[in-house]
Amino acid sequence: MPSLGVSPRTRALVNGAFGVTLAAVSGQGASDLGLTRWRSGLRWGLAAAAVPVLGSVVVAAIPALAERVRPSDDDVAEWVLFRIPVGTVLCEELVFRGVFDSVSPNRSPIFFGLWHIHPARAAGDSVPGTVLGTVLAGVLFSWLRRRSGSVLAPALLHYGVNASGAVLAVRARNVSAR
């Protein structure tokens, strides 16, 4: 997608559509995805998402940690309200926890890690570090999916991690501008 030169908003829409389409053509129905167990997914997901959100609050409150956050010039509302939930969470959770976990649960986290090679390169981050980190996140997301019985739980945790990180990066930009 990045090589097509489309806008970030269009990329988010295409990614979201890809996740929904893959889940649909794979035969995964609402019950298979655990959407009929939405209460369990909501309970587990909100509890899990509280951890990265609270972690971001702690980082923001401690100047020595806050100054280590890479600032971002991105529009936080666009990221938090659209690009993260549609282009990242919807796509990746349907693909990796919805479809791949049902086909190859032991390999799904590895594929999830490999999926993040290009974003790591684009951000100038360590590719091995990013892949390892996202493989470990994938293990946690897959465990949460199995434990809760719903793809909603890892989706909420995934959103909590990414959205709190985006808010923290924009806050770092505002602090460094002072």
The number of domains in the chain is 1
What pLDDT is stored for residue 70 in this prediction? Answer: 84
Q: Is residue 41 part of a domain?
A: yes
H/E element holding 146? helix 127-148
pTM summary value: 0.93
Question: What is residue 177's predicted lDDT score, i.e. its pLDDT?
Answer: 59
Q: What is the pLDDT of residue 105?
A: 87
The answer to whether residue 3 sits within a structural domain is no
Structural domain contains residue 136? yes
Task: Please choose, from the candidates 21, 18, 45, 27, the residue with its C-alpha nearest in 3D space to the C-alpha of residue 103.
Answer: 27
Neighbouring C-alpha atoms within 13 Å toward the C-beta of 68: 7
pLDDT, residue 121, reads 95
Angstrom distance (rounded) from CA 87 to CA 65: 29
3-class state of residue 90 by DSSP? helix
The answer to whether residue 141 is domain-embedded is: yes
In a domain, 23, yes or no: no
pLDDT at position 11 is 93
Q: Write down the pLDDT at residue 176.
A: 61
Question: Which residue blocks in 2-105 are alpha helix, DSSP H?
Answer: 8-25, 38-61, 63-66, 76-78, 91-92, 101-103
How far is 76 from 97, CA to CA, in rounded Å? 26
With respect to residue 16, please indicate whether it lies within any of the assigned structural domains.
no
Full residue range of the structural domain in which residue 100 is found: 33-177
* Predicted confidence pLDDT, tens digits, the chain (178 residues): 666 788 989 999 999 999 999 999 999 899 999 999 999 999 999 999 999 999 999 999 998 898 888 888 778 899 999 999 999 999 999 999 999 999 998 999 999 999 999 999 988 999 999 999 999 999 999 999 999 999 999 999 999 999 999 999 888 876 665 5
123 vs 33: CA distance, rounded Å: 32
